[in-house]
Amino acid sequence: MRILHFYKTYKPDSMGGVEEMIGQICSGAAKYGVSSEVLTVSEDTSTVHLSDHIHHRAKLDIEIASSAFSLAAFRKFSDLARNADVIHYHFPWPFADVVHFATRLGKPSVLTYHSDIVRQKFLLQLYKPLRNRFLSSVDAIVATSPNYLASSKVLQHYKSKVEIIPIGLDRSSYNLPSPAKLQYWRERVGPKFFLFVGNLRYYKGLHILLDALQGSAYPTVIVGSGPVEKALKEKAKCAGLDCVHFVGPIADEDKIALYTLCHAVTFPSHLRSEAFGISLLEGAMFGKPLISAEIGTGTSYVNINEVTGLVVAPNDSTSLRNALARLWNDESLASCLGANALARFEAEFTASKMAERYVQLYRRLNESRAR
């Protein structure tokens, strides 16, 4: 069976949570004899041959409101889709809706619904008719958590064809860091610290984290870069937060070293644009207690309050400060929550479980269309 994934970005061009998930699906499905190809748009049009799947790129022409457009993608998609048994879309990306209807190939299709559109409210009103038609036309929709299905007004309209397949990670793909790398980070940030990993965007709530850290001396490492990076650094400097370390984007070995060493993972995203939280999942995989905010999405499916970590009110620096203090001062609690987080990861969030569920869905859609 052949699957074509269609999304705006993929590695090595971008290394976000959706990109990581697509890679895990492709690699996991390969173990079931399912071959995968990924089509994106990019300024680089070369083809990337990964270990068990292929990344094709169509020439990027323009980007409007975070949505990429490409004239070349119409032909590229049509050519690749003809050889595919199932098309796998990743939402939201309005350009994919256009390509879907323009090419009209009639192949079985599944759409992973990663997030509602939250920020572009005016453009959303213009896009709604196309969005609704697109969601109606695909054969199956996947939500990554029951929490997101329950809280998304959009998904409620298509509930009859929504399946829940949580995001999963492959622990074996996270190679152990060298002793020298672990020592490097111990010397740089200290033996005990909180960790945030992710793109530095408006919905990540990092300004709330900085407010929560004022008056404390908890070392906190912030990994990543993004549009609000400069503003966050200025805010930390003005507040005299010498305990906060902005380390930028780092290599995988460095990231794994920080997950290995950290005391807890903090993930203060305060808006629904944060649909799941891969960093929370990584923290659980490393047996770390988690701190997140209740925003009605998958973050509270990964992190269960008082079981795997602490869940606080969104946009509330006082609640976040109290959670940080609780985990910092209670080693027994932190250890217990971390152990529970690891157990929940192994039970619910492995890449093998995710891939198996997607392969079952692919086969069901393909067999249904054949009948």
The span from the first CA to the last CA of the chain, in angstroms, equals 16
Which tens digits make up the pLDDT trace of 180-202? 999 999 999 999 999 999 889 89
In 83-165, where does DSSP find H-type helix? Answer: 94-103, 121-137, 146-151, 153-156
pLDDT band (50, 70, 90) for residue 223: very high
User: What are the structural domain ranges in the chain?
Assistant: 2-170+350-370, 171-348
**pLDDT value at residue 117:** 81
pLDDT band (50, 70, 90) for residue 118: confident
pLDDT band (50, 70, 90) for residue 13: confident
**pLDDT value at residue 105:** 87
pLDDT band (50, 70, 90) for residue 124: confident
Closest CA to 152 of 115, 178, 122, 104: 115
| Rounded Cα–Cα distance for residues 138 and 140 (Å) | 6
- Residue 140 reports pLDDT greater than 90: yes
- Residue 119 reports pLDDT greater than 80: no
**pLDDT value at residue 362:** 98
| Rounded Cα–Cα distance for residues 255 and 243 (Å) | 19
Give Cα 262 distance to the centre of its chain.
21
**What residues pair up with 220 in beta bridges, in sequence order?**
194, 244
pLDDT band (50, 70, 90) for residue 14: confident
Q: The whole model's pTM is what? A: 0.86
- Residue 56 reports pLDDT greater than 80: yes
**pLDDT value at residue 370:** 67
Contact by Cβ (8 Å): 100, 89: yes
Which tens digits make up the pLDDT trace of 197-217? 988 989 999 999 999 999 999
Domains 2-170+350-370 and 171-348 share a fold: yes
Among the residue ranges 18-22, 61-65, 135-139, 258-262, the one predicted with the least confidence is: 61-65
Which tens digits make up the pLDDT trace of 295-326? 999 999 999 999 999 999 999 999 999 999 99
Contact by Cβ (8 Å): 81, 87: yes
Mean pLDDT throughout 55-73?
Answer: 89
Burial class (CB in 10 A: 0-12, 13-18, 19+), 122: exposed
| Rounded Cα–Cα distance for residues 143 and 187 (Å) | 42
pLDDT higher at 340 or 119: 340
| Rounded Cα–Cα distance for residues 244 and 221 (Å) | 6
Among the residue ranges 24-33, 37-46, 361-370, the one predicted with the least confidence is: 361-370
- Residue 15 reports pLDDT greater than 80: no
SS3 for 223-278 is ECCCCCHHHHHHHHHHCCCCCEEEEECCCHHHHHHHHHHCCEEEECCCCCCCCCCH
Pairing mode, strands 48-49 and 53-59: antiparallel
**pLDDT value at residue 371:** 65
Q: Which CATH architecture best describes the domain 171-348?
A: 3-Layer(aba) Sandwich (3.40)
Contact by Cβ (8 Å): 351, 169: yes
| 53 to 26, 47, 60, 96, 278: CA distances (angstroms) | 7, 11, 22, 21, 22
- Residue 12 reports pLDDT greater than 90: no
Secondary-structure class of domain 2-170+350-370 per CATH: alpha beta
DSSP, collapsed to helix, strand or coil, labels residue 132 as helix
- Residue 245 reports pLDDT greater than 70: yes
Using a pLDDT cut of 70, give the percent of the chain over it.
98
Mean pLDDT (the chain, rounded): 94
Count CA atoms closer than 13 A to 250's CA, side-chain side.
Answer: 20
pLDDT higher at 20 or 311: 311
Contact by Cβ (8 Å): 323, 330: no
Which tens digits make up the pLDDT trace of 142-184? 999 999 999 999 999 999 999 999 999 999 989 999 999 999 9
**pLDDT value at residue 292:** 98
**pLDDT value at residue 20:** 86
| Rounded Cα–Cα distance for residues 195 and 258 (Å) | 7
